[in-house]
Structure 1
Amino acid sequence: MTEDTERHAAKMAKKKAARDKIMATKTGEKGLIIVHSGKGKGKSTAGFGMIFRCIAHDMQCAVVQFIKGGMSTGERDLIETRFSNICAFHTMGEGFTWETQDKTRDIEMAQAAWAKAKDLIRDPANRMVLLDEINIALRYDYIDIAEVVAFLETEKPEMTHVVLTGRNAKEELIEIADLVTEMELVKHPFRSGVKAQQGVEF
């Protein structure tokens, strides 16, 4: 070994010992409330990454989409055709609010999606429930944030993970969450005239 590699090995050994000491104190398990928000891309993608992890571990899970409508997406098609036995998929929205242009209908659909979400979360067999784009419904007050917070705090089974996505997450939701990630927008191809593309956005 050279002096440089010996110094590196000693430094890494010291770092590993410190890390192992920290990890030894992390023994708890619980169902997490996870929020993916922010203006950057990747919020739903991160949520679906967790859903596919659950599927890979043979853990029952479910998805409720609050805003996205009937448009075909890769994740929905894959889950419905190959993993419907372990992951229930419910697309409850009819598209973004500027497309539907019917506030009363949007509220009705959001309320129906929330009712379905509560049923899925209450079922302890579901280890994870993804509430995709619920933050948009909450932002427009289509669903009462106080009701959502109270439900998650009092009715969510102890070991169930709930993932909530969408920009502009409410502060009340951030306050009760165990994990919050803010996706920051640095660059976006849409600004350069590039449309949403298969395999990237859907």
Structure 2
Amino acid sequence: MAKWWLLLGSVLLAGCSTVQHKPIADDPFYAPVYPDTPPTKIAPTGSIYMDNQVSSLYSDMRAHKVGDIITVVLRESTSASKSANNEIKKGSDMSLDPIYAGGGNITIGGNPIDLRYKDSINTKREAGADQSNSLSGSISANVMQVLSNGNLVIRGEKWITLNNGEEFVRITGLVRSQDIGPDNTIESQRVANARIQYSGTGSFADSQKVGWLNQFFFSDWWPF
């Protein structure tokens, strides 16, 4: 009985360890940073150009300071294939002919003394896995920090509400100012240390998840 309770406890422990917290919208980690610019009083002069304007006709519109927004063009594609073959063969054969002595075979109870032993082991395993993913689209991120070398730390998220739940895209990473295009966009392949997350919540997303009991059977806790 104690063994059954121990097995049940292991199953529950493995199931609890696989439970993940659901993502929420407006996560403080992805909250945008707003630049704190002190207001200045500008006397109206009637001129087209005003000193309090953020940019002019000749200024660079690319993101370069904290609080700026940059658009990341998502063009991700991955493909992986793996196969493994493992075969083990082992055999043994041993024999002992009847013992001959004194002009005849030595017997026990009228039966000659001999020995025959033979065994063989053949184990073969094959495994294969193929996986491919692609992600395209765009997401606007916020410049969270400007490093001493001019690189930008960006972070942002996008939530889309659907009939059966919500879908979201999140991105974090490092961007070189030189890689930003004139239209203030950058390819996702040029985002260093990128963390791109695309998932969803709701009944549609939950239907594609594996239950905790099945996760136990596919985890390292399953002894077989």
TM-score by length of 1: 0.21
TM-score by length of 2: 0.20
**Which has the higher Rg, Structure 1 or Structure 2?**
2
Q: Which has the higher contact order (CA 8 A, sep 6+)?
A: 1
